[in-house]
């Protein structure tokens, strides 16, 4: 009798145990070891920018090469323009396995890896190669290891390029020219401090919302790369643009770690190898697209364009020194020495 009562009470709990632990072990419901050669492996790659940007084009190239190299076994589906997830949602979507690859701006991961904040320092390096060298060295390795602790495997570091200011109030030549304005920034404490120094009111906002905010006059301006400005048509709703090259917009391409590890080893290798090649291509394409899109912006004659001279930049760099000092205190002298500062 007691035996039967115990069984009645305990059975549901006993039945639940295996399903709970399975769920914890395999949060992604597909077991790739069971996938036959005839079935596809689908990789969803979500990003927030336009198709005609370095990231947009490189994501598509990756999809094309993966299809060719795996005879169609791996299908990479690219979702651009925040069509699946916005920037503030995509990390969560990656961790839950709703998408498998994302390529967020470094700034958007600074809350997970504070060292990434260093790349938001204005005028850190004057050429993109300066950033590439750091990513290829010990700092890049440390960043990858830190992101692995967050269940992401780094597949590559991509460029968008250097950021430029746009606004609808006045031309910008000096650091305090934007004082009193409201400017959209990406989520990063360093960017926040940078704009506070400039006596600007910085507003963190999803990329997808910026055009409307500019058009409606909810904010006065923003900072972004030429390809993002052009593809999102900011130049058509802003009066002034300064080619300042003041900040770097780079991406880290990450894949969900559990997803990657469940894939057959040959597929994992194709992904890594293909991404290496695509990353080289992407960096070159970023430079090319910046030139092309800047020409288009000049041609539209719809925005007044200034360009900072090397002498102007000396003044700006001097202005930002307190920000560097603060960051050095936070990240340490040895980290700054590794950056070459």
Binding region for ligand LMR (CB under 6 A): 48-49, 87, 105, 160, 186, 207, 224, 228, 249
3-class DSSP assignment, residue 43:
strand
The residue among 251 and 259 lying less far from ligand LMR, judged by its C-beta, is: 251
**CB of 239 vs ligand LMR, minimal distance in Å:** 20
**CB of 40 vs ligand LMR, minimal distance in Å:** 27
**CB of 184 vs ligand LMR, minimal distance in Å:** 8
**CB of 251 vs ligand LMR, minimal distance in Å:** 6
Q: How far is CA 240 from CA 36, 63, 178, 260, 307, in A?
A: 57, 37, 11, 45, 11
The residue among 47 and 73 lying less far from ligand LMR, judged by its C-beta, is: 47
The residue among 49 and 74 lying less far from ligand LMR, judged by its C-beta, is: 49
**CB of 248 vs ligand LMR, minimal distance in Å:** 11
The residue among 175 and 247 lying less far from ligand LMR, judged by its C-beta, is: 247
**DSSP secondary structure letter of residue 48:** S
The residue among 186 and 198 lying less far from ligand LMR, judged by its C-beta, is: 186
The residue among 16 and 287 lying less far from ligand LMR, judged by its C-beta, is: 287
Tokens of residue 99, six digits: 């998408």
**CB of 122 vs ligand LMR, minimal distance in Å:** 15
Q: Please list, residue by residue across 24-62, b when 16 or more beta carbons sit within 10 angstroms of its beta carbon and e when fewer do.
A: eeeeeeeeeeebeeeeebebbbbbbbbeebbbbbbbbbb
In what helix (H) or strand (E) does residue 5 lie, and over which residues does it extend? helix 2-25
The secondary structure of 70-106, three-state, reads: CCCCEEEEEECCCCCCCHHHHHHHHHCCCCCEECCEH
CA-CA distance, 185 to 201, in Å (whole number)?
A: 10
Q: Whose CA is closest to 116, among 96, 148, 142, 90?
A: 142
């Amino acid at each position: 009798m007691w035996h039967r009562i115990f069984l009645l009470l305990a059975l549901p709990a006993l039945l639940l145990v295996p399903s709970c632990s399975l769920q914890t072990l395999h949060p992604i419901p597909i077991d790739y070891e069971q996938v036959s050669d005839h079935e596809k492996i689908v990789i969803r790659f979500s990003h927030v920018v336009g198709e005609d940007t370095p990231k947009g084009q490189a994501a598509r190239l990756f999809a094309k090469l993966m299809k060719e190299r795996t005879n169609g076994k791996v299908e990479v589906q690219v979702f651009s323009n925040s069509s699946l997830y916005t920037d503030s949602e995509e990390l969560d979507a990656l961790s839950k396995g709703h998408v498998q690859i994302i390529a967020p701006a470094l700034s958007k991961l600074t809350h997970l890896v504070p060292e990434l904040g260093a790349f938001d320092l204005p005028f850190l390096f004057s050429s993109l190669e300066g950033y590439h060298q750091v990513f290829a060295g010990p700092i890049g390795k440390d960043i990858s290891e830190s992101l692995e602790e967050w269940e992401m495997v780094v597949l590559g570091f991509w460029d968008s390029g250097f950021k430029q200011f746009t606004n609808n109030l006045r031309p910008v030549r000096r650091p305090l020219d934007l004082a009193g304005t409201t400017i959209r920034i990406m989520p990063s404490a360093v960017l926040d401090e940078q704009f506070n120094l400039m006596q600007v009111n910085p507003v963190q906002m999803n990329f997808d919302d910026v055009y409307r905010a500019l058009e409606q006059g909810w904010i006065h301006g923003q900072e972004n790369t030429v390809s993002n400005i052009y593809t999102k048509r900011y130049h058509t709703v802003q009066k002034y643009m300064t080619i300042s090259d003041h900040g770097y917009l780079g991406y880290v391409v990450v894949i969900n770690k559990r997803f990657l590890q469940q894939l057959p080893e040959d597929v994992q290798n194709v992904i890594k190898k293909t991404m290496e090649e695509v990353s080289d291509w992407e960096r070159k394409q970023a430079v090319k697209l910046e030139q092309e899109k800047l020409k288009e912006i000049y041609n539209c004659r719809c925005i007044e364009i200034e360009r900072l001279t090397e002498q102007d930049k000396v003044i700006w760099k001097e202005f930002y020194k307190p920000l560097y000092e603060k960051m050095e205190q936070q990240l340490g002298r040895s980290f700054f020495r590794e950056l070459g500062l």
